[in-house]
Structure 1
Amino acid sequence: MYVSPDLNKTESLTIAVTGLNANDNPGPGLAVIRALRAGFGENIRIIGLAYETLEPAIYLRDQVDKTYRIPYPTAGAGALKARIKEIQEIEKIDVLIPNFDAELYNFIKIAPDLLQMGIHSFLPSHQQLEQRDKVNLAKFGEKHGFNVPDEGVVFTASEIDNIASKFGFPLMVKGKFYEAHTTLNSADAHRAFHKLHAKWGLPVILQKFIKGTEINIAGLGDGKGNAISVIPMRKLYITEKGKAWAGITIEDEKLITLAKDFAKATIWKGGFELEIMREDNGSLYIMEVNPRFPAWVYLTVAAGQNQPKALVDLALGRPTDDMNTYKAGKMFIRYAWDNIVDVEEFQKLSAFGEL
């Protein structure tokens, strides 16, 4: 457990991580864990926090030392706090890194309680979380001078056609937390609305389609208005769900400046991802702001800036310098493989809530 004030000493750390799913819509958890192991070597113990028994990273025993099930975000902050307290009595966690949008509200709410338990975190405030929300993104862009596509927030299907007549087709239809569909006509838009409503709840966001090159930026804000790390990545292969399955780091000062301007405008604290569309004329549009590390964050390690490790250092109050150089041309190519486990492991996690 991290207890030493001697910042030159290498301590053994216990770090808890969520987001252990690694399917065609992967969570960031496994990439964060790989980055932490690359940064801290043998001086680390990883505790997985899972919502489902089939989250693949649970069973990667060379990456996750032990896993505990935690209550779904809908159970509320009180249930989460009680469960983390139970786990802390056993594991003595030093730092906790949440990696799902939907869980952040609860983790932010209990962050002071976690600190009293000895668990450090490095999270944005509820206000920061809200201002970059999809339903507020257009207002946020207007306030701070960022290019953001026109959007409409809808609660009923009857509102779709009116907004579609203004924006035209193609039209982006986005879920409250995750998932986006490019729709080509009214029937497509209505189908997407009902699908996203059923899966993620209301509201659903309709966004004007912007044609261009898809670029994502992984960043880390220090909570004082600085982005101490910024890595831009151009998507090379995109899945049907719009997720990057391959990408390459690129050199573009305009992208770096945009990420730094975002961190300054929001005083952002923690990891973030900007989803950008770059038009042929060079204009940059912020399509979404994700309030945590992306699933491709391990690419930042390969490029020379280990963002998850830096976040841990910030959470523990260690001095962290700005990282201003990185390697362009570093690629990631995601792949699927079969991990064989015994059914007894699955049953143990299901029955006892830990593995």
Structure 2
Amino acid sequence: MIKVAVSGINAVDNPGPGLGIIKGLREGSTPVSVVGLAYDAMEPGVYLTDLIERVYLMPYPSEGEAPFLNRLLYIKEKEGLEVVIPALDPELPLFIDLEPRLSELGVRSFLPTRKHFKLRAKDRLPVIAEATGLKTPATFAVSSYEELQRALSRLRFPVMVKGLFYRAFRAYNSTEALQYFQSISAEWGYPVIIQEIVEGEEMNVVGVGDGEGGHFGLLAIKKLWITSLGKIWTGVTVKHPGLLEAAEKFVRHFRWRGAFELETIVSGEDIYLIEINPRFPAWIYFAVGVGLNLPERLLRAALGEEPERDWEYPAGKLYIRFTDDLVTDLDLFQRMVTRGER
């Protein structure tokens, strides 16, 4: 029985990947006991006792490395933690930096490098696109009102206004663009990304790189219906040769290690790279459901084993996300608030 910690158990309107990862681990051939890592006592995963045996509140990554590491060491001491699968962007830099030390202490992971993590910055998309044969929308990194106006003068509305790592808004005029520019820069700093909107079909690829130029499986999907936050609600598996070839080039060129997602817009013969995520997406259970248990393959890689590399999957399989209801005892919430664990 492998004791695995998984974060991102916030299954809300902007869901984290954690529950999909855990469901995949549960359905795998490697017996696991799951510890949930939460940042808020109200995260729904805290209360899913049939899926997650134990849950611990974590300090926010912004508090720094020391409290974060101390909390992980406390969890290891209490639970015998063997593997951790982080699933949220803000915590990844800490886990990446701590990976060597945690490994020495017996807590293993399989993560991108710091260099890989930096590729997720939206101003790095042209570098990735050139290496993979993809295109990118016209993109401008701006740090002042004057630069914003110059960028807007070269694009047609609507445009996307994005933070370098977080936040994205669609602006339909200059007033909205300025409002979003100010909001993002106040929260996340500069530069702010102003990007052309490309019309087409939204297609994404999820995979796990082996760190040596190969991979442990890829899955391509097309979004059919998205929420107001841009999150997939229904989707279908596709086999788009150009997209899958680009994903293989990405893994090979950058020698990617660990989970990743490529977000693209496909317009006719053109494929535009929109975003890269250095982790599993919230829809990762889709891969499990069609026979590619990527979470378990990641777990086996973290354990130093050789995962399967077969990645045949059927096209035309439908994914549907749905909401659910749960009634439980208030005692669970009180324990999380007072003790930080359950």
> Matches of 1:142 and 1:190 in 2, distance apart?
30
Gaps of 5+ in 1: 1-11
Tell whether 2:293 aligns with 1:306. yes
- Asked whether the equivalents of residues 149 and 285 of structure 1 are also in contact (C-alpha less than 8 Å), the reply is yes
* Residue among 32, 35, 55 paired with 2:24: 35
Q: Which amino acid aligns with 2:278?
A: P
DSSP 3-state at the match of 2:283: coil
Q: Following superposition of structure 1 onto structure 2, how do residues 64-75 of structure 1 map, counting pairs within 5 Å? A: 64-75=52-63
Q: Which amino acid aligns with 1:177?
A: F
1:149 is aligned to 137
* Residue among 158, 177, 182 paired with 1:189: 177
1:315 is aligned to 302
> Matches of 1:256 and 1:145 in 2, distance apart?
11
Give how far 1:311 is off: 0.3
Tell whether 2:85 aligns with 1:97. yes
1:58 is aligned to 46
Aligned pair count? 342
Tell whether 2:328 aligns with 1:341. yes
Q: Could you list the per-position Cα deviations for residues 248-282 of structure 1 after superposition, in whole angstroms to 9, with x for gaps in the alignment?
A: 11122222111111111111000100001001x22
Q: Following superposition of structure 1 onto structure 2, how do residues 84-163 of structure 1 map, counting pairs within 5 Å? A: 84-142=72-130, 145-163=133-151
Identity between Structure 1 and Structure 2 (%) = 39
Q: Could you list the per-position Cα deviations for residues 272-312 of structure 1 after superposition, in whole angstroms to 9, with x for gaps in the alignment?
A: 00001001x22111100000000000010111110000001
1:23 is aligned to 12
Q: Judging changes above 3 Å, is the alpha-carbon distance between structure 1 residues 354 and 157 closer, same or farther for their aligned structure 2 residues?
A: farther
Q: Which amino acid aligns with 2:12?
A: N
Q: Could you list the per-position Cα deviations for residues 318-342 of structure 1 after superposition, in whole angstroms to 9, with x for gaps in the alignment?
A: 1223123112122111111222222
Give how far 1:198 is off: 4.5
- TM-score with structure 2 setting the length: 0.95
Q: Judging changes above 3 Å, is the alpha-carbon distance between structure 1 residues 158 and 71 closer, same or farther for their aligned structure 2 residues?
A: farther
> Matches of 1:329 and 1:352 in 2, distance apart?
46
- Asked whether the equivalents of residues 171 and 183 of structure 1 are also in contact (C-alpha less than 8 Å), the reply is yes
Q: Which moved further from structure 2: 127-136 or 253-262? A: 127-136
Give how far 1:38 is off: 0.8
> Matches of 1:17 and 1:305 in 2, distance apart?
19
DSSP 3-state at the match of 2:28: helix
- Asked whether the equivalents of residues 92 and 118 of structure 1 are also in contact (C-alpha less than 8 Å), the reply is no
* Residue among 14, 17, 21 paired with 2:3: 14
Give how far 1:157 is off: 4.3
Give how far 1:199 is off: 4.5
Give how far 1:74 is off: 0.6
- TM-score with structure 1 setting the length: 0.92
Q: Which amino acid aligns with 2:24?
A: A
Q: Which amino acid aligns with 2:19?
A: L
1:45 is aligned to 33
- Asked whether the equivalents of residues 124 and 269 of structure 1 are also in contact (C-alpha less than 8 Å), the reply is yes
- Asked whether the equivalents of residues 179 and 241 of structure 1 are also in contact (C-alpha less than 8 Å), the reply is no
- Asked whether the equivalents of residues 150 and 208 of structure 1 are also in contact (C-alpha less than 8 Å), the reply is yes
Q: Judging changes above 3 Å, is the alpha-carbon distance between structure 1 residues 56 and 203 closer, same or farther for their aligned structure 2 residues?
A: farther
2:191 is aligned to 203
- Asked whether the equivalents of residues 120 and 165 of structure 2 are also in contact (C-alpha less than 8 Å), the reply is no
Q: Judging changes above 3 Å, is the alpha-carbon distance between structure 1 residues 229 and 144 closer, same or farther for their aligned structure 2 residues?
A: closer
* Residue among 145, 170, 181 paired with 2:158: 170
Give how far 1:137 is off: 1.8
Give how far 1:34 is off: 0.6
